[in-house]
Amino acid sequence: INNLLNKTKNRNKQIIVEEHYNGDNYRIMVFNNEVLGIVKRDNPYVLGDGNSNLLKLITEHKQSKHKIHEYDVPYIKKQGYDLNSIIPVNKKIIISKVQNYHNGAPIYNIPLSKVHPDNITMFKRTAQILGINLTGIDYMTKDLMTPYYIDGVIIEANERPDITMHCDSATT
């Protein structure tokens, strides 16, 4: 932490250290104590066509509505490629570990029937406790059918969530 603080130009900047959690990334939209929808966010990726280099595939990204504007070169190199590599047909290259819808992360609509009832209750209760009528709860778990008290963690609750992700997922 001190090393990071020493590298920052703004000495008043704060650093938040969070526990790492392995699991899938979900956004739960709660409005007036009802869960309106759940989407799963995945890592942004491209698929090779056997002709194009990685940078061109990123520029012409087709796996989501949003273009990729940030990519992780060291992570790409860990997969054995660089921006000039020609990517084999149907080879999936993950561009970033950040699962951000506006950076090309694909989203998938999750039916509420695929979510444990205790989790639905917990999402509603979370919004009630926070006193937020409309909230986007970011939640991670290995399986939404597993109750939160066995596996799962709330990452954050957004009081001004972007609802377009949920609208767009209906057609995904």
Instruction: Give residue-wise pLDDT tens across range 3-46.
Output: 777 776 666 667 777 777 889 999 999 999 999 999 999 999 99
Whole-number average pLDDT of the chain: 89
Q: What is the pTM of this model?
A: 0.80
Rounded Cα distance, 132 and 103, in Å? 27
pLDDT at 170 over 70: no
Strand partners, 157: 137
Per the CB < 8 A criterion, the answer to whether 99 and 63 are in contact is no
Rounded Cα distance, 5 and 16, in Å? 11
pLDDT at 130: 95
- Backbone phi, psi, residue 41, to 5°: -105, 140
Rounded Cα distance, 55 and 7, in Å? 30
Strands (E), 17-117: 24-31, 34-41, 45-47, 92-94, 107-110
Alpha helices in the chain (DSSP H): 2-7, 54-59, 73-78, 117-130, 164-169
